[in-house]
Amino acid sequence: MWIILVKLIITALVTIATVILLVFNLKANRLTRLSIQQMENARKEEFRPYVLFDMEFDATHVFMTLRNVGKSPAFQVQLQLDQDLKVWNSLVGEEIYTPKDMAITDEIEMITPGNEFREWVDFSDFFFRNNENISNLSGKVTYQDAAGNPYQFLIHLDIEPFRHRYIYIRKDMKSLVQTLERIRDHIKKL
């Protein structure tokens, strides 16, 4: 009788241990499946297009740039800005042009990896003078990969620091020119 009871207890313990191992095995398999899915998703994300919008400011010019920093081409690239900036005023005078008049806001068929679409906006002086009430840009860039999967890059760009950088450069340039003129005058006296 005791032998049967011991066999039943051992059988019950083996059954419980088997169930516990089965549960751990199922969880391990689930984690493995999730890990494989994450690796597949990471691989897809690694080889997709990434199109970024940037405004480039230097001492005299302003540019808008759409840049594909991904590893595959971006198709049907479309830039939409929420603000109506004034552009090209240094060239056209009285007429008011906005980014909607620029080629960069037309649908761009394709931007290949590592390449960009860059367009001149205006001279820095005119740009900041004509857009002094705008300190932040917002909008979005929409595009697709080769399979037609849609992507979106949201734009939140603070241009105020560039306005101050431009002013600083202008002041610095003026003092540099004055110093060079003094050097020139001094050389003439020699």
Question: What pLDDT is recorded for position 92?
Answer: 67
pLDDT for res 111: 98
Q: Are 100 and 64 in contact (CB under 8 A)?
A: no
CA dist., res. 134 & res. 151, Å (int): 27
Give the pLDDT score at 93: 62
Matching residue, tokens 């007429």: 95
Q: Which amino acid is at 70?
A: G
Q: What is the pLDDT of residue 4?
A: 85
- What is the value of pTM for the model shown? 0.68
* Per-residue model confidence (pLDDT) at position 46: 86
Query: Mind listing the pLDDT tens digit for each residue in 63-92?
Result: 999 999 999 999 999 999 999 888 886 676
Could you tell me the two tokens for 7? 């066999």
3-class secondary structure, 3: helix
Residues of the chain with pLDDT under 50: none
Q: Dihedral of CA 120/123/126/127: which sign?
A: positive
CATH 2.40.10 describes domain 51-175: no
